[in-house]
Structure 1
Amino acid sequence: MPAEARRARGERAGLTRERILDAAVDLVDREGLKALTMRRLGAALGVEAMTLYHHVPNKDALLDGLVERVFAGAAPVEDATAGWRPWLRAYAGALRTTLLGHPGVLPLAAARPAVTPAALDAVERGLRVLTAAGFPLGRALHALNSLTLLVVSHATAECALATPDTPGSAGELAALDPDRYPLTAEAARTGAGTDDAERFAFAVEALITGFGAEAGV
């Protein structure tokens, strides 16, 4: 009997949910989210698609698992001595790094809520940090969600601007009429305000400062 048939009949080829999610991330990184099907994923793992259902019950569960991989890996372990501000900075930085490393997952991060236990564990860690610092629960959730949306949106914009044929390139901006757009032209010429990492850190710090002022902590 061929090896593929034996696997399809229950050997599962040493599969685990973690291995399946790793392969799914690799496939999305290489070929994009539209390429992710159970059949394609099974082929990448050397098994029949039906074998995957022992570990992920359906396509939605697979997509939820990809969201989990993004957010669970970005949430630091709580450190009561470090404070909520460093925790949020570390979370934002780790999430941006993860998303930029896996741009194919960005549409999922923007559209799908955290629903798996591991993803919800990450949310719970953030809420514990913020409520322990004095945030009311509702404000804590607003802060965590707002920061997450900033990171996802910023990473999405960074990936889009990295595409060679993206309109509005630095060269086009540098060619602006300096009499009509003196400040914009100067920024394009000197690079002021164009560094992605600098802009990201500025935005994160502004949000964190506002969170503290609004919550009185």
Structure 2
Amino acid sequence: MAAGQRRHRGPGQRAGLNRERILDAALALLDAEGAGALTMRRLAAELEVEAMTLYNYIPTKTALLDALVERVFAKAVPEPAEAGPGSRGDWAALLRDYAAHLRTGLLRHPGVLALAATRPAATPAALAAVERGLSVLTRAGFPLGRALDAINAVTLFTVGHTTAEVGTADAAASADWVAEQDTERYPLLTEAARTGAGTDDADRFTFAVNAMVAGFGRGLFQAQEASDNNAADSGN
């Protein structure tokens, strides 16, 4: 091309368009207007390109939805710290951090919640994130099946709890109603409603995740203890 000439972009092309920008725009549209508004045509309009241009980056609407779930889930799994071959890593911290990051991501993008509850996070990036978590848990001594159970249990609880948080906008009004009930018949419930005890979503979430992780740890210890005892009996 001669100096000073300007190359014209073809129909539907736009400088700087890439998969990340498309997903950012899709998330913004999903959060603002809900899943019903998220079509390839509408997304293309938001990005000021032709709809067919999007298919160069994301082949189908299904792939777009999968990518949105991937975006939230894959970012929630922290990168494990560098560890030697014999290191077990801090599996409990990984699960707690994963739950906290996933909740934060879902609250930031509530439009993804309905997708997360109905479709698996089955993209290469999402699978790589799960693989990272399984690696830490199995190095810590979890059998592979139990490691996957732990990750799935934390995931399902987080999605369910966050869905409830987003769907209870009238929680304050409900607490006010409970506080006005018969204090002799419901002394503890009315006290909780008046004082706000047990109504903090973040505190409840952290309490429950810590309890789950502690339970996983006890189960792991008991399994290892049973295995050691069996080994000792076999050696006698």
| TM-score of the pair, normalised by structure 2 | 0.84
- 1:114 maps onto 2:116 in alignment: no
Q: Which amino acid aligns with 2:27?
A: V
Q: Is the aligned partner of 1:58 residue 2:63?
A: no
Identity %: 62
Give the aligned partner of residue 124 of structure 1.
131
* Structure with max Cα Rg: 2
Q: Note the alpha carbon deviations across 1:10-51, whole angstroms, 9 max, x for none.
A: x35432111111110011111111110001100000011111
What is the one-letter code of the residue matched to 1:104? G
Asked if structure 2 preserves the Cα contact closer than 8 Å seen for 1:147 and 1:204, the reply is yes
> 4+ runs of 1 displaced by more than 6 Å?
none
SS in 2 for 1:115: coil
**Cα distance in 2 between the residues matched to 1:84 and 1:117:** 22
1:194 and 2:199 matched: yes
Aligned residue number for residue 96 of structure 2: 89
2:162 paired with 1:155: yes
Does the Cα contact within 8 Å between 1:84 and 1:133 map onto a contact in 2?
yes
- Could you say what secondary structure the match of 1:147 adopts? helix
Change in 2 beyond 3 A, CA 1:50/1:149 = same
- After TM superposition, the structure 1 stretch with the greater mean CA deviation from structure 2, 207-216 or 146-155, is 207-216
Q: How far off its partner does 1:7 sit?
A: 3.0
Q: Residue type matched to 1:40 in 2?
A: R
Partner of 1:7: 11
Letter in 2 for 1:179: E
Q: Does residue 141 of the first structure (1) align with residue 145 of the second (2)?
A: no
Structure 2 unaligned spans of 5+: 1-8, 225-236
The reply on whether 1:179 has 2:181 as its aligned counterpart is: no
**Which secondary structure state, in structure 1, belongs to the residue aligned with residue 199 of structure 2?**
coil
Q: Give the Cα–Cα distance (whole angstroms) in 2 for the partners of residues 172 and 7 of structure 1.
A: 59
**Separation of aligned partners in 2, 1:180 and 1:61:** 54
1:206 aligns with 2:211: yes
Aligned to 1:105: 112
Using the alignment, how far apart are the partners of 2:191 and 2:70 within structure 1? 42
- Output the CA distance in 2 between the equivalents of 1:212 and 1:34: 42
Unaligned runs of 5+ in 1: none
Indicate if the aligned counterparts of 1:7 and 1:13 stay in contact, CA closer than 8 A: no
Using the TM superposition, give the Cα deviation of residue 136 of structure 1 relative to its aligned residue in structure 2, in angstroms.
0.3
Q: Deviations over 1:107-155 (max 9, x none)?
A: 1111111111111111111111110100000000000000001111111
The corresponding residue for 2:5 is: none
Count of equivalent residues: 209
1:68 maps to 70
* Cα distance, 1:167 vs structure 2: 9.4
Query: Superposition RMSD on alpha carbons, in Å?
Result: 1.7
| Structure 2 counterpart SS, 1:6 | coil
For 1:7, what is the secondary structure of its paired residue? coil
TM-score where L is the length of structure 1? 0.91
Question: What does residue 78 of structure 1 align with?
Answer: 80
